[in-house]
């Protein structure tokens, strides 16, 4: 379990952005979490109120976008979802692949005024 | 809510940690201090290997140890008996160390009179692999009772480690650990990984491990 500690980082980062841009109020923050990322979206949602408690983000909405774990087959080049296909290419059956996306944990955007 | 504007950030939450880790690594290089990040699951033999390592190399280099744990100081107490300088870090529930915590630990330990600092990370094969601590090299231990399939289950840990120590080889007779299969699986993920079988209990293989560590420290210090 490391989601709370990681969310403290996110809060610090967003607070810095709010200061730098002279924003008055943050309505929402949008995170992107890859399917292979080391953070679990449900835990992020669960610990969010604790992470923002007493900060300028206290009444801010959290949105999460999931990014797929996509890979390109090392043999035939087909792009497929690693989790759905259990790391086996649906086209040629190869288990060799190059990961295209899915490990991200990004602050995508902040909606504020 | 027309007055709200959208600020595109598009930055990885881990980017800050990666930058901090790179700064720490450079600072250590300038100070000629080698930091080894030792990772393994609970019970793989991190503390026992550390004790052996200090016994073997303690009279030729100045060694400091940082023990990271969620709670307790049992490992720090064990290590302090070797005479090495040791500091206990409590992660307060966190399952890994990040670069900032490592930096604070190094400041607490004091690195002015150190050649080698070993960070015993939290016992866990998942999260510590995700967070660059700023270490000069990463080492991991896999012990024989855990099984030869672990590279398949925890590939990231094997991909970030420079050296794989296979511990408890003295118990190989009672487990069906396939060393060749394990090595093949590890090298498929990380072709450059150095694999060293040891028994921290009997001392077998410790010479090879100490040689690797000694050479790595010298190279880092530009000797």
Q: What is the CATH number of the domain that holds B114?
A: 3.40.50.300
Residue in B4, B16, B94 nearest the CB of A5: B94
In angstroms, the CA B64 to CA B116 distance is 6
- Identify the band that residue A1 occupies on the pLDDT scale cut at 50, 70 and 90: low
Q: Per the domain annotation, does B6 fall within a domain?
A: no
Across B124-129, average pLDDT: 89
Q: Are A113 and B6 a contacting pair at CB < 8 A? A: no
Q: Per the domain annotation, does B4 fall within a domain?
A: no
Q: Strands across the sheet with B63-69, in order?
A: B85-90, B63-69, B116-120, B34-40, B137-143, B163-167, B194-197
Q: Are A111 and B5 a contacting pair at CB < 8 A? A: yes
Across B134-156, average pLDDT: 96
Q: Does B30 touch chain A (CB under 8 A)?
A: no
Write the CATH number for A33.
3.30.2320.80
Does position B2 have pLDDT exceeding 60, yes or no?
A: no
Does position B1 have pLDDT exceeding 60, yes or no?
A: no
- Identify the band that residue B95 occupies on the pLDDT scale cut at 50, 70 and 90: confident
Q: Per the domain annotation, does B54 fall within a domain?
A: yes
Across B137-149, average pLDDT: 98
B96: closest chain A residue by CA = A2
- Identify the band that residue B20 occupies on the pLDDT scale cut at 50, 70 and 90: very high
Residues of the domain holding B137? 15-220
- Identify the band that residue B72 occupies on the pLDDT scale cut at 50, 70 and 90: confident
- For residues B56 and B210, the answer to whether their CB atoms sit within 8 Å is yes
pLDDT at residue number B107: 96
In angstroms, the CA B160 to CA B39 distance is 10
Total domains, chain B: 1
Residues of chain A found within 8 Å of residue B127, distances taken between Cβ atoms? 2, 38
- For residues B13 and B124, the answer to whether their CB atoms sit within 8 Å is no
Q: Does B174 touch chain A (CB under 8 A)?
A: no
Total domains, chain A: 1
- For residues B85 and B2, the answer to whether their CB atoms sit within 8 Å is no
Q: Does A17 touch chain B (CB under 8 A)?
A: yes
pLDDT at residue number B99: 93
Residues of chain A found within 8 Å of residue B1, distances taken between Cβ atoms? 27
Interface predicted TM-score (ipTM) over 0.85: no
Residues of chain B found within 8 Å of residue A104, distances taken between Cβ atoms? 12
- Identify the band that residue B77 occupies on the pLDDT scale cut at 50, 70 and 90: confident
């Amino acid at each position: 379990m490391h989601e709370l500690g990681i969310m403290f980082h996110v809060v610090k980062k967003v607070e810095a952005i709010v200061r730098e841009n002279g924003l008055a109020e943050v309505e929402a923050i949008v995170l992107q979490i890859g399917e292979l990322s080391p953070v679990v979206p449900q835990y992020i949602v669960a610990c969010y109120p604790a992470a923002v408690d007493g900060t300028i983000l206290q009444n801010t909405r959290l949105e999460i976008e999931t990014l797929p774990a996509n890979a390109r087959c090392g043999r035939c080049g087909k792009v497929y979802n690693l989790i759905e296909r259990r790391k086996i290419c649906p086209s040629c059956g190869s288990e060799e692949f190059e990961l295209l996306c899915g490990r991200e944990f990004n602050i995508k955007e902040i909606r504020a005024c | 809510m027309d007055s709200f504007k959208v600020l595109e950030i598009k930055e990885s939450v881990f980017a800050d940690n990666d930058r901090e880790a790179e700064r720490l690594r450079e600072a250590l290089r300038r100070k000629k201090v080698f930091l080894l990040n030792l990772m393994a699951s609970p019970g793989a033999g991190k503390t026992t290997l550390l004790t052996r390592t200090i016994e073997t190399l303690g009279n030729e280099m100045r060694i400091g140890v940082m023990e990271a744990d969620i709670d307790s100081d049992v490992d720090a107490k064990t290590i302090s008996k070797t005479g090495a300088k040791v500091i206990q870090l409590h992660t307060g529930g966190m399952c890994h160390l990040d670069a900032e915590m490592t930096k604070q630990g190094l400041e607490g330990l004091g690195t002015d009179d150190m050649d080698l600092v070993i960070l015993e990370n939290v016992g866990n094969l998942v999260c510590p692999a995700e967070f660059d601590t700023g270490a000069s090299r990463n080492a991991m231990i896999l012990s024989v009772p855990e099984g030869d399939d672990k590279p398949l289950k925890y590939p990231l840990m094997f991909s970030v480690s420079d050296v794989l120590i296979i511990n408890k080889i003295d118990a190989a007779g009672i487990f069906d650990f396939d060393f060749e299969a394990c090595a093949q699986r590890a090298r498929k993920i990380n072709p450059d990984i150095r694999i060293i079988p040891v028994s921290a209990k009997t001392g077998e293989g410790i010479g090879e491990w100490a040689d690797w560590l000694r050479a790595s420290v010298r190279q880092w210090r530009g000797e």
